[in-house]
Amino acid sequence: MRKYVIMGVQGSGKGTQAQLLAKDLDLVHIGVGDIFRWNVRNHTKMGAQVKRTMATGELVSDELVESVVQDRLRQHDWNYGFVIDGFPRNGRQAEFFMESFDLDAVIHLELPDDEVRRRVLSRRVCPNCGMDYNLIGDRPEQEGRCDICGHELTTRSDDTPEALEARLRDYHEKTRPVLELFQRKEVVHDVDGRPPVDEVQNAIRKTLGLPAYVPADDR
Ligand code: AMP
C-alpha cells in the first residue's frame, strides 16, 4: 500500500505527474481541483457553491474540501494506495489528513514564480472532457481544438493574471507551512519541476525508489 501526496505551486505539473505515477502503479489518483472542476462543469450543487471562489483563485472552505477528500477516500477502491494532489493546502487540512493517514511520501515539485506565470497563462483546457494543454510545450494537434473530443478549448477560469497572483500569494503564505510540517516528519522529497514531463516523472520515481518510467511510445 502506497500513500503519496504531490504538492507544488499551480502549473508545477502536480496533476500530470500524479496521473502518470498512479497509472503505472495502480494507485487511485485523487485531484481535489479536478473534483471541483467536474462539479462546476456538471452544474452540481457543489459546483455552484465553489464556482466563484475558484474563478478568483481563492481557496474553497476547509470544511468542504475535507468532506470531499473524506468521501473520496471512504470509497476504499484504493487497494494499492493513492496519490493525491492539491491537498492539503494549509495547516488545518494537513492536520486533518495526518490524523487519518500515515503518508509514505510527499513529493514537492519546485518551480520558480516566473516560470509558473509563463506556464499558467499559456494553459488551455477542454471544457467538455477536461483534457489539459499548454501552448508552450503541449499544443493540441489542431489549433484551439481538443485532440480527444474535438471540442473548442478555453482557458481555466482561474488562469487569469489576477487569480494567478492570488493563488501564488496563498501558496506562499498557507501551503509552504504545510511543507515545513511534513519536513519535520521527514517525508518530503524535493523534485525540480522545470524539466520535461518524462524527466520529472523519472526523478520522482528515483527518489521514491521505484522502477524507472517508460513512456507509452517506447513500450
Ligand atoms: P488546483 O487544480 O489544485 O489548482 O485547484 C483549483 C482550485 O480548487 C483552487 O484554486 C481552489 O479554489 C480549489 N481547491 C483545490 N484544492 C483545494 C484545497 N485543498 N483547499 C482549498 N481549495 C482547494
Query: DSSP letters along 124-141, please?
Result: EE-TTT--EEETTTB--S
Take atom 14 of ligand 1 and give the residue whose Cα is closest: 33
My answer on whether 108 and 190 are in the same domain is yes
Q: What percent of the chain has pLDDT over 90?
A: 65
pLDDT at 219 over 70: no
Q: For all residues of the chain together, what is the average pLDDT?
A: 91
What is the domain-level CATH number for residue 101?
3.40.50.300
170 assigned to some structural domain? yes
Confidence of residue 158 (pLDDT cuts 50, 70, 90): confident
The minimum-distance atom of ligand 1 relative to the CA of 158 is: 10
pLDDT at 218 over 80: no
70 assigned to some structural domain? yes
Q: What is the DSSP string of the chain?
A: -EEEEEEE-TTSSHHHHHHHHHHHHTPEEEEHHHHHHHHHHTT-HHHHHHHHHHHTTPPPPHHHHHHHHHHHHTT---SSEEEEES---SHHHHHHHHHH---SEEEEEE--HHHHHHHHTTEEE-TTT--EEETTTB--SSTTB-TTT-PBPB--TT-SHHHHHHHHHHIIIIIHHHHHHHHHTT-EEEEE--S-HHHHHHHHHHHHTPPPP--GGG-
Cα-to-centroid distance, 41 and ligand 1 (Å): 15
More confident residue, 28 or 76: 28
Q: How far apart are the first and last CA of the chain?
A: 26
Place of cell 504531490: 6
Cα-to-centroid distance, 60 and ligand 1 (Å): 7
pLDDT at 175 over 70: yes
User: In this predicted structure, what is the pLDDT of residue 104?
Assistant: 94
Residue (of 6, 3, 2) closest to 16 by Cα position: 6
Handedness of CA 181, 186, 187, 190 (dihedral sign): positive
Name the residue range of residue 147's domain: 122-158
The minimum-distance atom of ligand 1 relative to the CA of 34 is: 2
37 assigned to some structural domain? yes
12 assigned to some structural domain? yes
183 assigned to some structural domain? yes
My answer on whether 59 and 167 are in the same domain is yes
The minimum-distance atom of ligand 1 relative to the CA of 167 is: 10
Which residues have C-beta atoms less than 6 Å from ligand 1?
10, 32-33, 36, 53-54, 57-60, 65, 86-87, 89, 93, 158, 167
219 assigned to some structural domain? no
Cα-to-centroid distance, 31 and ligand 1 (Å): 9
My answer on whether 97 and 188 are in the same domain is yes
My answer on whether 148 and 171 are in the same domain is no
My answer on whether 49 and 135 are in the same domain is no
My answer on whether 22 and 37 are in the same domain is yes
My answer on whether 171 and 194 are in the same domain is yes
My answer on whether 6 and 79 are in the same domain is yes
DSSP β-bridge partners for residue 125: 132, 154
My answer on whether 134 and 48 are in the same domain is no
My answer on whether 37 and 138 are in the same domain is no
| Probe residue for ligand 1, chosen from 54, 62, 119, 178 as the CB with the greatest number of ligand atoms within 8 Å | 54
Residues known to be catalytic: 14, 89, 123, 156, 167
218 assigned to some structural domain? no
pTM: 0.85
Contact status, residue 12 vs residue 110, Cβ threshold 8 Å: yes
My answer on whether 8 and 82 are in the same domain is yes
Number of domains in the chain: 2
Q: Count of CB atoms within 10 A of residue 52's CB?
A: 11
Cα-to-centroid distance, 189 and ligand 1 (Å): 22
My answer on whether 49 and 14 are in the same domain is yes
Q: Which of 117-121, 134-138, 171-175, 198-202 has the lowest mean pLDDT?
A: 134-138
